[in-house]
Structure 1
Amino acid sequence: GRVTLVPHDKCKVVVNGVTITGKTELQHSDRVILGSNSTYLYVGPPAQRTEEDLSRYDYDFFQSELAAAEGFGVDKLGTVSTGQDRADPSVLAVFHDYIKLMPLVEEVNQMSQELRKDLKFELKVKNLALSDSRGHDLQKEITVKVTHETTQQVWVWSKAKFINRKFLMEELYQRFLEGENPAVNQDSDPFWDPVEAVHVGSAHVWLQALAYRMRLEERAELLNSEGLEEAVLLINLSPCFSDGRLFGEDEMVIDPLELLERRVDFQIHIAECLGVKWLRGAVGRGIQIGYRVYDLPRYLYTRPVWESVNPKIEETVHFSALKASYEFLNYLQKNALIVDLWGLQEGCMEMDSSLDGLLLTAEGTVVIDNPKDLTASNVPELYRKLLQMEQETELLRELDRALREENALLKDKLKKWDAGHHESQCPSQTVSDCMLLLQFFLTSTAPGHAEEMCSHRTSCDAELAKALKTFYQNMSVVRQQFLQLKHSRPPEDNLQVLRLFTETQSQMISDFGQQLESAVYKLKSDVALIVKKKREYTAYSKP
């Protein structure tokens, strides 16, 4: 016989993870979900049955299949452990939380519809790496996005808040089923929340350039919790003097430790946001940008901008580390500035954009890297001693290497002399050779020779540093050309403008290739010259 299933009116019926709207014939082992969580396994007539183990079709299987049909699975969480075929346990835990919350969200949506609350609930997976300054792939967590379908206002609830509210919603819904008036005052309504700012997306802007006193002009993509672009942020990080004048390329340093215990100033300039999707979603919306630098006690926020898809912000904050610590320099080299995009809604409270509560210098700059007790901190002094010891150790290694080479040479000469090779040579010549070797052996260990070796090594290091500095300067130009190529967009309709755009792009690509090739060739030439000089010096130093 045949068994068919027909949804009645607006009833939700799911077969094998797919919602059906019309008459559907069931097959053996089909999975059926009626409503939000009433699950059934259809077992067909004996003629259709196989030896398949039906015990695997448990409740989790039904929900996993439903999640997969909606485009959500373990593989979407990113997830497989290195070198293994199974997912990370923490990711599996998030996935199981997700599929367990799915029927609860469906129930809440049905209650909202029947109670005419006009609220839509959606499950979201938040990647905590968005809030980590090192960009590590940390654990993920489940959140619930709540959207008012009339006003398009948005809230984001935690998993715990959603579960707690669901119990209160069930009580209200039960009274509705019993014929009572479901209307309650606002404070007692589990569906209501005050309007608040919503976290829309985040971007990582790496600070390493500041550790070398290099300027960074970044077009950072602000990504939401699903990794999709919400906007593009134009932000500049600029090292500067204490009075705000920007550094030139000559102020760049090769080693960040050159800045240890010195004053370090830089500016963060947020220019504008491009293509903010949040502002396209509804009227009466705005944005604010927030970030926090190193050890500041709170986040800094830009002034709010309302109802502009490409809002111009143009705000600059000057930061000063009065006596840069090793920890601060390490922070610049290994961490990123987390820039958060916050969505404002009509009626919500704006975030404080002032500098109140922050320590400021006499020039009005924000103080960072401010240890509580400078006199008690002996880390910089210890670090200087460590650097000095490393330099002395390197010099001793050079001397030891020279001694070993000369010692091996002397042993070889003595072996030849002992083997009777002295008979074919003039004895006086052999003795003379040995004396010359001994003299070189002694002079190579003398302080003057050691100083000469150290001086030559310092000279090579200086030349290499100069070559690298030139390379960095050339690459900054190359990087600007690359960013222009990356973010240029072709016109959509005008064919003539498209042809002009193609020609311009071709020229830009050609210029980019030439500049990159020139920078690399210059670096290779400089390094080759340094290596040649070092080899010549080594050959000259040998007897």
Structure 2
Amino acid sequence: MNGGTTTIANPAEPNEEPKKFAFDYSYWSHDSFSEQEDGLLVPDGPKYADQARVFEELGKGVLTNAWEGYNSCLFAYGQTGSGKSFSMVGYGVNKGIVPIFCDQLFIGINQKKDEGSKAEYEVSFSMLEIYNEQVRDLLNPSSNKKGGLKVRESPKIGFYAMGLKQTPVQSYAEIQDRMDEGTRNRTVAATQMNATSSRAHTIVGIKFTQKSINDAGQEMAKTAICNLVDLAGSERAESTGATGDRLKEGAAINQSLSSLGNCIAALADKSKGKNVKVPYRDSVLTKLLKNALGGNSKTIMIAALSPADINYEETLSTLRYADRAKQIKNVAVVNEDPTEKLIRELKEENQRLMDALKKGGLGELKDDDEEEKQHMTEEEKEALRKELEEEMQGRLRDTEAEMEEMKKTWEEKLKQAQSSAGNGGEREKKEARKTKPHMYNLNMDNQLSGMIFHLLDQTSYKVGNNKADSPPDIVLNGLSIQKEHAAFCNEDGKVFVEKSSPEAKLLVNGEPVISKVELDHNDRIMFGSNHLYVFQHPDLQKANPNKYHVVTYEMAQEEIAQKNGFDMSDKQNTDDKLLQQDLIDMIPSVEEANAMSEELDKKVKFEIVMLSPRARGLQHGRTEVCVRVRNLECELEYVWDKDKFTRRKYLMQEMYQNFQEGEDWQLPDEKDPFTESPDTQVQIGSAHVYLQSLAYLIETKESALINNYQGQEQGLLDIELVPCDDKGKELSEADDIFVEDPKDLIGRSLNFVIKIPGATGIPNKYKDVHCRYKVFLDTVDNETDKMGGSVSLEFRHRKYFNYKVATSQLVDYLSNGMLSIQVWGVQQSKQSPNAKPMNTKMMVDALKTSGDNAQSSSLEKTAYILQVAALKKQNQRLEEKIGQVKRIVEVAERHNKSRVQTSVLKQVLNAPTVKLSEMAIAKVPLDEENQHTCDHQPSQSSSVCVLM
């Protein structure tokens, strides 16, 4: 960023000319800042743009427009995680544009009043979200019937959300309360479980009216509508499920953002004089932003960018998106009309609608729809007439309601809003948090943390769900929350917590609560599967302020992972850090899936497992977090990768939501997110064999262990590696094709055969057993035939590989690489027809009793298994090397050699097979240099003086 210029370079093409984009402002906020004790981020130099500077140069313009009576819109666009919400809302003391705008608006109003202004100032606040193309009023959730609010169109104001609550406010503190309320409703309205599972576009609306008397004694009303929009983040195709089940939320977001892009492109063309139609009607988002994008509004767009090189394509797309948007030219006018004129125009609108209804409604078709009208059948015209009639009746009701609203005085509106909001107590509670014990929520989204809090200053509090016989003091709804879940008691300033039900899941600092526990300041409390809170005791904090530190969601989840046996110690390795972050993300998700399975009685249990690169058939890579899915009824298990589990979890949440709302939630097996098709192929295990023998053109036969992802033996796989000529004829040791140095193969023809005769010991619960493997640069798996469920299988597989010219890469692959062969099959159900019926919870408890619930997912256990296997292999290799050294000594003594060349010794020690070792040892008697004495000493002193 340099002034108004943003430059982006392609990391994959360092010689390519960087691309430059010119904007009004370009801000850098990735680094070059320091954090003060209160958390405020301040610049270390001129490069960093803090929140105050962004508001001064962008938000202040919106504020000025509002005072002058212009409609304004400011929206943030960019990919997920690029910083849109931070710029718009901010976090903690680093307030974003929205809160600063609201604060400065009331500061200006108070200044005007102090200066003696006789004008009346009215501020109304609204907050809505667009979730899955549905509009939801976040300040009046009871109005959000199925399908959300209806989007209507009026000739006067364009598209609007019918019935959206406009709340009069008199101070910035009231706006803060409304924003807190709206954020909480957005969280609950999403899935009633996990706030971050719902992603939506959020629109904060500020209606600012200034009433004054002009020179003619006429009342003038100057109104400005400001829309501050935090768009949901765009995502890469793979993160929205392009390779499998697509997430409903991601599809809706991409659809609306795509429609927004189409509107921006059309408006940019229109600004150049082209006659194009702007597709506002393609999405709810573009309907509501129609006026902001191409109408009576001054609009600012913030394009948030990621500096990461892996996001180059997305960042470039965002820059192009913004470059098109800046070409749009809007014509904004001051919204200044006498109040009576507005009422008269509404009456005229009413009359026009009534006349249209009497005429049948077809007159409402716009000019650009006339051609379509001429080609309609009578049935289509009648259907359209009915549709328009319903729409007009809705408009008629809306305009009548708006007229009644206009006739109310501001004082009446304010009084009505204050009586319905009932938020006076909320502010008192916020003040009480400074002196009294309480707890507040933690959320994966930092902006949602601290939005919910409960005071704990009374003698006792009961915690439970809303189905309890008597309403609990603290209501928590969602997964694994019992009717009577927990209880708090305050005894002489000390706060204790305990379980109220044996079935209740309650953790304090990651440890399960068994008996009554005294709470300390900053203790972390987990209720059920996903209600995470921090306990705060101001008196304890004041007594020892240096003892306590800020608690974050990541810290709390890391603590839970640690207590579950995962190694969460500080890691310097990047792969280990990524692995830990995946664990922090996955542990609560797996807990949530298990809780849903129990409540819906799906008889499925989920567990975290670690898959090493070798277990996935790779030589390189990092260990990945996956999910083991166990069908407890049929004794089947599958392994899902992180992306598949995440996609399925969203569908599980939708199913659970329908269950909670009493709707039809059951799905057929092929659509049920908890089930897997019985014909799904699973990886039984993998076997590995080193390819080094082929680099010396030596035949190898080996029975390799087949180990599953947990390191458990699943059988033996016979593998043969045989060099051959260019016609596919197999060559043996008698053909004498051995090479001393694999590099001698470079440039020559190299041919070999890989044979998999069969396997033994594979559990008979599998059918259609077969092997898959790739060699060198193969992009498609080589596969054996599928065999039945027998303990002894005969694949009789033979694959010929011909390389006309061996490259250095191929030789290096054979010299240092290994062949990984995965064994796959289809599981057969073990469900017994005489089995005692059990629900999911009973089955899970039975697993715990049988000891089959060990933490196979533990990093420590995984590391231990690998370490033991490595030590066994090391020990075996060392014993072989000792034996080879003894053979050298025997041969040297037998031939009265006083010295062995280092090259021979190196070949012996590095030989991958006994045959190669013997061939190297055979060179010892031929060494002429061995006739010399060692270190100039008589050779009789020792038959072997030095091994070099």
TM-score of the aligned structures, taking structure 1 as reference length = 0.57
Q: Distance in 1 between matches of 2:677 and 2:611?
A: 22
Residue 632 (structure 2) aligns with:
149
Residue 804 (structure 2) aligns with:
323
For 1:354-373, list aligned pairs within 5 A: none
Q: CA deviation at 1:109?
A: 1.4
One-letter code aligned to 1:335? G
Q: Distance in 1 between matches of 2:930 and 2:600?
A: 83
Q: 2:567 pairs with 58, 69, 73, which one? A: 73
Q: CA deviation at 1:342?
A: 1.9
Q: CA deviation at 1:243?
A: 3.0
Q: CA deviation at 1:58?
A: 2.3
One-letter code aligned to 2:675? W
Q: CA deviation at 1:150?
A: 0.9
Q: CA deviation at 1:329?
A: 3.0
3-state DSSP class of the match of 2:584?
helix
Cα shift readout 1:428-468 (whole Å, capped 9, x = no counterpart): xxxxxxxxxxxxxxxxxxxxxxxxxxxxxxxxxxxxxxxxx
Residue 125 (structure 1) aligns with:
610
Residue 510 (structure 2) aligns with:
17
Residue 474 (structure 1) aligns with:
none
Residues 722 and 731 in structure 2, CA contact (< 8 A), matched pair in contact too: no
Q: 1:47 to 1:159 in 2, by over 3 A?
A: closer
3-state DSSP class of the match of 1:182?
coil
Q: Distance in 2 between matches of 1:533 and 1:521?
A: 17
Q: Distance in 2 between matches of 1:214 and 1:154?
A: 40
Residue 649 (structure 2) aligns with:
166
Q: CA deviation at 1:226?
A: 5.3
Q: 1:187 to 1:106 in 2, by over 3 A?
A: same
Cα shift readout 1:288-308 (whole Å, capped 9, x = no counterpart): 221122344532223334444
The reply on whether 1:269 has 2:750 as its aligned counterpart is no
Residue 185 (structure 1) aligns with:
668
Residues 94 and 141 in structure 1, CA contact (< 8 A), matched pair in contact too: yes
3-state DSSP class of the match of 1:164?
helix
Count of matched residue pairs = 362
Q: CA deviation at 1:169?
A: 1.9
Residue 205 (structure 1) aligns with:
689
Residues 749 and 806 in structure 2, CA contact (< 8 A), matched pair in contact too: no
The reply on whether 1:302 has 2:302 as its aligned counterpart is no
Q: CA deviation at 1:207?
A: 1.0
The reply on whether 1:256 has 2:742 as its aligned counterpart is yes
One-letter code aligned to 1:214? I
Residue 89 (structure 1) aligns with:
574
Q: Distance in 1 between matches of 2:509 and 2:624?
A: 27
Moved more, 111-120 or 285-294: 285-294
Residue 104 (structure 1) aligns with:
589
Cα shift readout 1:251-279 (whole Å, capped 9, x = no counterpart): 32213354455554433233554554xx3
Q: Distance in 2 between matches of 1:512 and 1:90?
A: 34
Residue 8 (structure 1) aligns with:
501
Residues 4 and 25 in structure 1, CA contact (< 8 A), matched pair in contact too: yes
One-letter code aligned to 1:167? Y
Residue 887 (structure 2) aligns with:
518
For 1:26-41, list aligned pairs within 5 A: 26-29=518-521, 30-41=523-534
Residues 263 and 320 in structure 1, CA contact (< 8 A), matched pair in contact too: no
Q: Distance in 1 between matches of 2:758 and 2:500?
A: 51
Q: 1:216 to 1:89 in 2, by over 3 A?
A: same
Q: Distance in 2 between matches of 1:305 and 1:520?
A: 49
| Greater percentage in helix | 1
Q: CA deviation at 1:147?
A: 1.9
One-letter code aligned to 2:516? T
Bigger relative contact order (CA 8 A; separation at least 6): 1
Q: Distance in 2 between matches of 1:5 and 1:217?
A: 63
Residues 784 and 797 in structure 2, CA contact (< 8 A), matched pair in contact too: no
Residues 218 and 236 in structure 1, CA contact (< 8 A), matched pair in contact too: yes
Q: Distance in 2 between matches of 1:9 and 1:174?
A: 26
Q: Distance in 2 between matches of 1:340 and 1:316?
A: 14
Residue 733 (structure 2) aligns with:
247
3-state DSSP class of the match of 1:55?
coil
Q: Distance in 2 between matches of 1:254 and 1:263?
A: 17
One-letter code aligned to 1:334? N
Q: CA deviation at 1:140?
A: 3.5
Moved more, 238-247 or 158-167: 238-247
3-state DSSP class of the match of 2:559?
helix
3-state DSSP class of the match of 2:549?
helix
Q: Distance in 1 between matches of 2:822 and 2:587?
A: 29
Tell me the C-alpha RMSD between the 2 structures. 3.8
Residue 701 (structure 2) aligns with:
217
Q: Distance in 2 between matches of 1:159 and 1:194?
A: 19
For 1:229-248, list aligned pairs within 5 A: 230-240=714-724, 242-244=728-730, 246-248=732-734
Residues 221 and 233 in structure 1, CA contact (< 8 A), matched pair in contact too: yes
Q: CA deviation at 1:333?
A: 1.8
Residues 26 and 42 in structure 1, CA contact (< 8 A), matched pair in contact too: no
Q: Distance in 2 between matches of 1:223 and 1:236?
A: 19
Q: CA deviation at 1:240?
A: 4.1
3-state DSSP class of the match of 2:591?
helix
One-letter code aligned to 2:652? M
Q: 1:271 to 1:13 in 2, by over 3 A?
A: farther
Moved more, 168-177 or 41-50: 41-50
Q: CA deviation at 1:35?
A: 0.7
Residues 766 and 827 in structure 2, CA contact (< 8 A), matched pair in contact too: yes
One-letter code aligned to 1:255? D
Q: 1:513 to 1:225 in 2, by over 3 A?
A: closer
Residues 286 and 344 in structure 1, CA contact (< 8 A), matched pair in contact too: yes
Q: Distance in 1 between matches of 2:796 and 2:885?
A: 33
Q: Distance in 2 between matches of 1:532 and 1:173?
A: 81
Q: Distance in 2 between matches of 1:229 and 1:65?
A: 33
Q: Distance in 2 between matches of 1:274 and 1:318?
A: 21
> For structure 2, which runs of at least 5 residues remain unmatched after alignment?
1-490, 830-871, 902-923, 934-948
Q: Distance in 2 between matches of 1:55 and 1:47?
A: 13
Residue 658 (structure 2) aligns with:
175
3-state DSSP class of the match of 1:183?
coil
Q: Distance in 1 between matches of 2:660 and 2:518?
A: 33
Q: Distance in 1 between matches of 2:648 and 2:566?
A: 25
Q: Distance in 2 between matches of 1:93 and 1:259?
A: 40
One-letter code aligned to 1:317? R
Cα shift readout 1:359-379 (whole Å, capped 9, x = no counterpart): xxxxxxxxxxxxxxxxxxxxx
Q: 1:101 to 1:262 in 2, by over 3 A?
A: closer
3-state DSSP class of the match of 1:251?
coil
Q: Distance in 1 between matches of 2:676 and 2:747?
A: 50
Q: 1:262 to 1:100 in 2, by over 3 A?
A: closer
Residues 144 and 158 in structure 1, CA contact (< 8 A), matched pair in contact too: yes
Q: CA deviation at 1:113?
A: 1.5
Q: 2:820 pairs with 335, 338, 341, which one? A: 338
The reply on whether 1:58 has 2:552 as its aligned counterpart is yes
3-state DSSP class of the match of 2:677?
coil
Residue 775 (structure 2) aligns with:
293
Cα shift readout 1:475-512 (whole Å, capped 9, x = no counterpart): xxxxxxx99x969xxxxxxxxxxxxxxxxxxxxx8x99
> For structure 1, which runs of at least 5 residues remain unmatched after alignment?
76-84, 348-481, 488-508, 536-543
Q: CA deviation at 1:34?
A: 0.9
Q: CA deviation at 1:190?
A: 2.8
